[in-house]
Structure 1
Amino acid sequence: MQIRIKEVKTLSDDWYVLKKTTFDYRRRDGAWQTMSRETYDRGHGAVILLYNLARRTVILVRQFRFPAYGYGGTHDGFLLEAPAGLLDAATPEERIRAEVAEETGYRVHDVQRVFEAFMSPGSVTERLYFFVAEYDAHSRAGTGGGVEQEGEDIEVVELDIDAALAMVADGRIEDGKTIMLLQHAALALFRDRSGAPAGSGML
């Protein structure tokens, strides 16, 4: 037994749930230490990178993120990201198919789960499921743009994989989950004429 929970307080239960937990933690030397941590529970999520090997392109979305905008007033708040969403009551595969259709208009059926990750385990409980899927011109059944009632106003952006990797290198793509998927695509999906991973000089 490594943890003994002593007290849990709900600090906020508005958009999602913020809790403060006081607990005893048994250290490696056997001594018990009392700690207190705040955790933000927004549920788990899924994210996907659509890619086209023949055209060497990927699909991202541009949308406004207030936390990015509100941090010190140094960012316009618009981020280029891979389509993503919270699972709610769905499986990761079910949710990401629906999310990518809402955000991009593309409908994909054969999604491949590539890995999972805790994105901010120091404070956020969310586990993110990462997917990739191939697309082509026939995959697009709508315009995308997100759900207006949820405040979404999403622009669909198609980028060359090398251009996307260059945008990671120079800071134009700053979203962590998107960087992880682009680097996975460069290493595992795309190769240049020499057979090396795409954007080798930028990884």
Structure 2
Amino acid sequence: MTPLFFFGTLRHQPLLDIVLGRVLTPEPAHLPGYRVAWAKGESFPMLAADAGRTAEGVLAHGLTDDDMDRLNFYEGAFSYDLVDVTVEGATGPVPSRVFMPKEAPWHPGADWQLQDWVDQWGPLTLIAAGEVMRAYGRETASQVAARFPIIRARAQSYVMAQNRRRPVTVSSALTREDIELSSLDRPYEKFFALEEYETRFRRFDGQWSDTGARAIFNVGDAVTVLPFDPARDMVMLIEQLRIGAYAQGDPQPWLLEPVAGIVDAGESYEDTAYRETREEAHIELSALHKVAGYYPSPGGIAQYLVSYVGIASLADDRKTMGGLESEGENIRNLLVPYDQLVQMLESGELVNAPMVMSVQWLMLNRDRLRA
């Protein structure tokens, strides 16, 4: 079988192992007449024709039909095809093939270095690749591609959680090292994922618990923003159908909420707050004030939320409908005077948890913000 030349992320051995489902060690090689460049604005590299340059990479020999099926599935999710090239291997020119985009909508940027990519994107990509390859054999590459943004967002949530540290004053000293995982099944992975764990843990008396089953709903990190205009003393609320309320039997499943959205791969919580406010409410924030970072329901949901109050100029003459049609969103926004907002909280009209928390924070900080 014709060997494959890898110039980009598949040069990262842990990623190649995940994609192939086995260990295969390629040999160094290079492709004359090209350079490896960052695709501008993206998290991956591309080949750019350059007569005076050489694209460094690796050459994979001994690929099986199953290997090729797995590689085509993984790269097919990114609309890549195989193209014939001749590379320089250890013993001279070698006819080979390389994955290239069917159509290249990207423009080459600065030179790409594998270690730079590993440092910035490696951990996230390995987690995302695991989910992509778990879909091999039960979904098409195009189906996986359609949900690739949430796959990467979920992966980023895991990476960010690994780096999160809380102050410890009265908390116990127990950590992840005090949990033993015996099995993990994922019977459902789509926009959201269902994960079933079999674990045991160290009890507060130092003894080990019995092994037990736990199921969690893996969502991905998100932010909420309550826009507040200190000059007009008004907030903006959004309203939309929430299927969770409908599924529980609530006769009024349209809920009043702050702006909210999942943190995309490569975004900070603040980046998401600004982006989602533009998308859902069509307003620009001049400042963000953090309300809290928290787990909304850690007994059954793997998600970390960061809530903000955002400072903005809220005009009566504005676009009142928002959301992305591509995601089936139908969102309206409305302005509410502060005094009425407090009454709505006290009456029970506001039942969204981040909404309640943000309003309570605003009640404590309103005078400072208006000053």
User: Partner amino acid for 2:308?
Assistant: F
Q: Which residue of 1 aligns with 2:303?
A: 126
Question: What is the percent sequence identity of the aligned residues?
Answer: 28
CA distance in 2, matches of 1:130, 1:123: 20
Indicate the residue corresponding to 1:189 in structure 2. 366
Q: Which has the higher helix share?
A: 2
Q: Say if 2:24 is the partner of 1:24.
A: no
RMSD: 1.8
Output the amino acid matched with 2:323. G
Provide the residue aligned with 2:188 in structure 1.
12
Q: Distance in 1 between matches of 2:344 and 2:360?
A: 12
1:169 has 2:346 as partner: yes
Distance in 2 between residues matched to 1:103 and 1:153, nearest whole Å: 9
Gaps of 5+ in 2: 1-176
The equivalent residue for 2:329 is 152
1:100-133 CA-to-partner distances (Å, cap 9, x unmatched) read 1111110124223232011011111110011122
Choose between structure 1 and 2 for higher RCO, CA contacts under 8 A separated by at least 6 residues: 1
Deviation by residue 1:153-183 (Cα, 9 ceiling, x = unmatched): 1111110112112112112111000010001
> Partner residue of 1:40?
217
Structure 2 counterparts to residues 48-59 of structure 1, below 5 A: 48-59=225-236
Of structures 1 and 2, the larger Rg is shown by 2
Distance 1:78 1:160 in 2: 21
Q: Is the 8 A contact 1:25 1:35 kept in 2?
A: no
User: Following TM superposition, by how much is the alpha carbon of 1:137 offset from its aligned partner in structure 2, in angstroms?
Assistant: 4.4
Q: Does the 8 A contact of 2:291 with 2:358 survive in 1?
A: no
Q: Which consecutive unaligned segments of at least 5 residues does structure 1 have? A: 192-203
Number of aligned positions between the proteins: 189
**Cα contact 2:286–2:311 (8 A) shared by 1:** no
Matches of 2:314 and 2:214, distance apart in 1: 48
Decide which moves more: 46-55 or 104-113: 104-113
Residues 35-57 of structure 1 show CA distances to partners (whole Å, capped at 9, x for unaligned) of 22111111100111111122211
* Residue type of the alignment partner of 1:83: V
Aligned to 1:200: none
Q: How does 1:64-83 map to 2 (within 5 A)?
A: 64-72=241-249, 74-83=250-259
Deviations 1:134-164 (A, max 9, x none): 11147x8855511111111111111011211
Amino acid at match of 2:178: Q
Does 1:102 find its partner at 2:283? Answer: no
Is 2:271 aligned against 1:87?
no
Given that 1:64 and 1:77 are in contact with CA atoms closer than 8 Å, whether structure 2 keeps it comes out as yes
Aligned residue for 2:302, secondary structure, equals coil
